[in-house]
Chains A and B, each alone.
Chain A
Amino acid sequence: MNGENLLLLSFILFSLSLLVFLTNRNLLIMLMSLELMLNAANIALVNFAFVRRSAEPAAWLFMLFAVAAAEAGIGLAILLMLARTFKTLRADLINKLRG
């Protein structure tokens, strides 16, 4: 396993999740793809930890885990409230903020 491959994996994962985020209308799926994007970033950090033989990227990695967990918690709570209010989780139907 070398650095190049890990970086490529990170890139592919990020692109796919972005694609899912942009194409899927279900907010729950969109949230999941967000988490995947964060994971893609994590993989990139793992790569840097390998390549640079340094603990610093690994430290950032754990910080990112924590952020992702917190974000998932808040995100799910918001989704719950949205679902309760609008009786749906489809992003295109929740457009009350149109200018």
Chain B
Amino acid sequence: MLNDFCPYIKWIMIFPFAGFLVNLFFGKKLSEKVSGSLASAAILLSFGCSLLCFRALLGLPEGTPALKETLYVWFAAGTLNIPVGFRFDNLSAVMALVVTGVSFLIHVYSMGYMRGDRDLKRFFASLNLFVFFMLILVLADNPVLMFVGWEGVGLCSCLLIGFWYENMDNARAGKKAFITNRVGDAAFLTGLVLLISFLNLAGVPGLDFDSLKANIGSLAGYSVKGLPLLTVISVLFFIGATGKSAQFPLYIWLPDAMAGPTPVSALIHAATMVTAGVYMVSRLFFMFEISPYALEVILYTCAFTALFSAVIATLQSDIKKILAYSTISQIGYMFMGAGAGMYAGGFFHLTTHAFFKALLFLAAGSVIHAMGGEQNIFKMGGLKGKIKYTFLLTLAGWITISGIPPFSAFYSKDLIIEEIYGSGHFWVWLSAVATAGLTAYYMTRLFKITFLGTPKTDAHAREAPPVMLVPMAVLAALSLAAGAFTGWFINFSGGEVTDARLPFLVKEAPLAAGLAGIALGFWLTKENLAAYLEKVFKPLHKLIYNKFYVDEIYEALVIAPLKVLSESFFFKFIDRTLIDEGMVDGTSRSFYFAGEFLRKAQNGNVQLYALFFAFGLLAVLAYILAAAL
């Protein structure tokens, strides 16, 4: 274990932070180009450092799983000792490379997309800060430091969703994302506190991931309120993950988060931050694995989420909302991979998804740009000829996400679906296959309505500049080609490709579902047929179109009672009555009344004062005498 120290790890994080500081404090003095180039260069350097670490990692001798670097002790109290330590192992290597690589491409894209925005420097500063926190989350060597990154990316997400804060809706969407995340974070933190305190109780207080992995078994005997402790902790951590990774029931913030600039949606709300939950579950998989029921909870919740949000996506008309629901659904797949017992499969899907979903979002941004800010796909159409390159790039994204071989999502999705079948959850498998079909359907629908058919407006659509097209092309190449590395990747991230002989029907079911979805996507969206179906299934259409009224249910069940409680109890009673009137006004009023009473003693008669004085003297005298005798 002598050679596991790596001095490059900290530089992975220092560069984005430096970029953030420069853009924050000197942004006003920089020109647009310099600001954007600086931010991108910071990420590129960070990517370079990740590559250096990656090379060092591959050169490690057998049995040394990770590179480590500890900067200093953050805080220590009793047996609790939290160092700022980083760990570069197979999991965090993949994440760091994906995060810095995709971030770099999206930074470059942003230079074109955000051109002319008057807050451009704030944008790049926030984006750099986000990458910094994301890397802390990924590289942290203990769950507490991971939580720092976890909160940091949440903050940046909120800042960037509400980037155009003059519009109240955007600010509200940022707030919604932040508050929904807090719910999950509270659970995560509770789990963390439970974990730390019981580890201490068991006498194994080490919190770095190596010690955790070695010692987690010693917690197996404990229970809280009759439930096995590990299950409680795992489920609490998973609730934290549902907040960050937008799974049911805390997914509601992600569709609204589309209010942010499109590069933000691509980077934070598709490729990196929302997958933090999957990363966390993979990172702590050794705990989830031995916790009874925890994996089942993940599997069922996320299978439901994947199907549910895919159904919603089929009837949305906002191009970014469709992609947002698709993201929720795809993250559901990643969790299902972990839930079925092979987190490496979920992790591979995380990586391919980062490529193809970032590509789709960037392409959507390019379309929105070309349409002058229009996001409704029914107002587009016939864009094929007008923006040829964006069309081709979206085509690549579309066939990838639909699960057509030999492109990457085919392999990553199939791996997960097969693993679910292998783990014996037939109904979950069926729902995963159905989700694959639905995915192909809604993406085909989006693709057809946007690019094919007749133009709805004769507005002149302008193709994006090369600074936007090149990053998309790189992502497209990655999405198409990443499938070739499936076997290597799975082995690298700690799984193994089982060559299970599945029945032919089971093996080919996801592909068949995908092809059927594409066919239906072309057929059902014919205008007269779509209108006919809408009329026949009117209540169902309305239910799905309105997203199963989940937001309204939350409004009625959670937000409205909370508002009433805040208004009548916390505001009117606690704040106004108790604090304002009781404590603040009450203090001054009590002094006033005391003065009103005591002023009667001040009658201006000197001799009366003297009399009191004499009595006082007598009293003192009496006291002294009594003591003396």
Whether A97 touches B607, Cβ cut-off 8 Å, given contacts A18-B614, A22-B614, is no
B385 at interface (Cβ–Cβ under 8 A)?
A: no
Against A, the Cβ 8 Å flags (1 = close, 0 = not) of B602-617 are 1111110011001000
A96 at interface (Cβ–Cβ under 8 A)?
A: yes
Whether A99 touches B603, Cβ cut-off 8 Å, given contacts A18-B614, A22-B614, is yes
Q: Identify 10 residue pairs between A and B in the complex whose beta-carbon atoms are under 8 Å apart, listed by A's number.
A: A18-B614, A21-B610, A22-B607, A22-B611, A25-B607, A91-B607, A94-B606, A97-B602, A99-B601, A99-B602
A95 at interface (Cβ–Cβ under 8 A)?
A: yes
CA distance A18 to B611 in the complex (A): 9
Q: Which residues of B contact A99 (CB under 8 A)?
A: 598-604
When C-beta atoms are compared, the residue in chain B nearest to A92 turns out to be: B605
Q: A95-B603, A95-B604 are in contact. List 8 more A-B contacts (CB 8 A).
A: A21-B610, A22-B610, A25-B607, A91-B607, A94-B606, A98-B602, A98-B604, A99-B599
Count residues on chain A whose CB falls below 8 Å from chain B CBs.
13
For chains A and B in complex, what number of residue pairs have CB atoms within 8 angstroms?
Answer: 33
Q: Judge whether A92 and B614 touch: CB under 8 Å.
A: no
By secondary structure, the B interface counts as: helix
Report the minimum CB–CB distance from B595 to chain A (whole Å).
Answer: 9
CA distance A97 to B606 in the complex (A): 10
Q: Judge whether B604 and A97 touch: CB under 8 Å.
A: yes
Against B, the Cβ 8 Å flags (1 = close, 0 = not) of A14-38 are 0000100110010000100000000
By secondary structure, the A interface counts as: loop
Residues of B within 8 A of A (CB): 598-607, 610-611, 614
Q: Which residues of B contact A94 (CB under 8 A)?
A: 604, 606
CA distance A27 to B604 in the complex (A): 14
Q: Which residues of A contact B601 (CB under 8 A)?
A: 99
Q: Which residues of B contact A30 (CB under 8 A)?
A: 606-607
Against B, the Cβ 8 Å flags (1 = close, 0 = not) of A61-99 are 000000000000000000000000000000110111111
Report the minimum CB–CB distance from A54 to chain B (whole Å).
Answer: 21
Which among B599, B602, B607 has the highest number of chain A CB atoms within 10 Å?
B607
Whether A98 touches B607, Cβ cut-off 8 Å, given contacts A18-B614, A22-B614, is no
When C-beta atoms are compared, the residue in chain A nearest to B602 turns out to be: A99
CA distance A85 to B602 in the complex (A): 22
Q: Which residues of B contact A21 (CB under 8 A)?
A: 607, 610
CA distance A91 to B600 in the complex (A): 18
Q: Which residues of A contact B599 (CB under 8 A)?
A: 99
Q: Which residues of B contact A25 (CB under 8 A)?
A: 607
Q: Which residues of B contact A91 (CB under 8 A)?
A: 605-607
CA distance A98 to B603 in the complex (A): 4
Q: Which residues of A contact B614 (CB under 8 A)?
A: 18, 22
Report the minimum CB–CB distance from B396 to chain A (whole Å).
Answer: 90
Interface residues of A in 1-60 (CB under 8 A from B): 18, 21-22, 25, 30
Q: Which residues of A contact B606 (CB under 8 A)?
A: 30, 91, 94
When C-beta atoms are compared, the residue in chain A nearest to B603 turns out to be: A98
Report the minimum CB–CB distance from B618 to chain A (whole Å).
Answer: 10
Q: Which residues of A contact B602 (CB under 8 A)?
A: 97-99
Q: Judge whether B604 and A96 touch: CB under 8 Å.
A: yes
Report the minimum CB–CB distance from B161 to chain A (whole Å).
Answer: 62
Report the minimum CB–CB distance from B148 to chain A (whole Å).
Answer: 61
Report the minimum CB–CB distance from B593 to chain A (whole Å).
Answer: 14
Q: Judge whether A95 and B605 touch: CB under 8 Å.
A: yes
What 6 pairs between A and B have smallest CB-CB spacing? A99-B602, A95-B604, A98-B604, A99-B599, A97-B604, A91-B606
When C-beta atoms are compared, the residue in chain B nearest to A21 turns out to be: B610
Report the minimum CB–CB distance from A17 to chain B (whole Å).
Answer: 11
CA distance A30 to B611 in the complex (A): 13
Q: Which residues of A contact B603 (CB under 8 A)?
A: 95, 98-99
Report the minimum CB–CB distance from B603 to chain A (whole Å).
Answer: 5
When C-beta atoms are compared, the residue in chain A nearest to B618 turns out to be: A18
When C-beta atoms are compared, the residue in chain A nearest to B596 turns out to be: A99
Q: Which residues of B contact A98 (CB under 8 A)?
A: 602-604
CA distance A98 to B601 in the complex (A): 9
Q: Which residues of A contact B607 (CB under 8 A)?
A: 21-22, 25, 30, 91-92
Q: Which residues of B contact A18 (CB under 8 A)?
A: 614
CA distance A71 to B610 in the complex (A): 17
CA distance A21 to B603 in the complex (A): 18
Q: Which residues of B contact A92 (CB under 8 A)?
A: 605, 607
Q: Which residues of B contact A97 (CB under 8 A)?
A: 602, 604
When C-beta atoms are compared, the residue in chain B nearest to A97 turns out to be: B604
Q: Which residues of A contact B604 (CB under 8 A)?
A: 94-99
Report the minimum CB–CB distance from B591 to chain A (whole Å).
Answer: 15
Q: Which residues of A contact B610 (CB under 8 A)?
A: 21-22
Report the minimum CB–CB distance from A93 to chain B (whole Å).
Answer: 10
CA distance A66 to B182 in the complex (A): 77
Report the minimum CB–CB distance from B613 to chain A (whole Å).
Answer: 10
CA distance A21 to B609 in the complex (A): 11
CA distance A22 to B611 in the complex (A): 6
Report the minimum CB–CB distance from A78 to chain B (whole Å).
Answer: 12
When C-beta atoms are compared, the residue in chain B nearest to A95 turns out to be: B604
CA distance A18 to B606 in the complex (A): 14
CA distance A30 to B602 in the complex (A): 20
Q: Which residues of A contact B611 (CB under 8 A)?
A: 22
Which among B599, B603, B606 has the highest number of chain A CB atoms within 10 Å?
B606
When C-beta atoms are compared, the residue in chain B nearest to A96 turns out to be: B604
When C-beta atoms are compared, the residue in chain B nearest to A23 turns out to be: B607
Report the minimum CB–CB distance from A63 to chain B (whole Å).
Answer: 21
CA distance A21 to B614 in the complex (A): 10
CA distance A96 to B602 in the complex (A): 11
CA distance A99 to B608 in the complex (A): 14
CA distance A6 to B492 in the complex (A): 108
Report the minimum CB–CB distance from B608 to chain A (whole Å).
Answer: 9
Q: Which residues of A contact B600 (CB under 8 A)?
A: 99
CA distance A97 to B599 in the complex (A): 11
CA distance A22 to B604 in the complex (A): 15
Report the minimum CB–CB distance from A16 to chain B (whole Å).
Answer: 13
Q: Which residues of A contact B598 (CB under 8 A)?
A: 99
CA distance A98 to B611 in the complex (A): 16
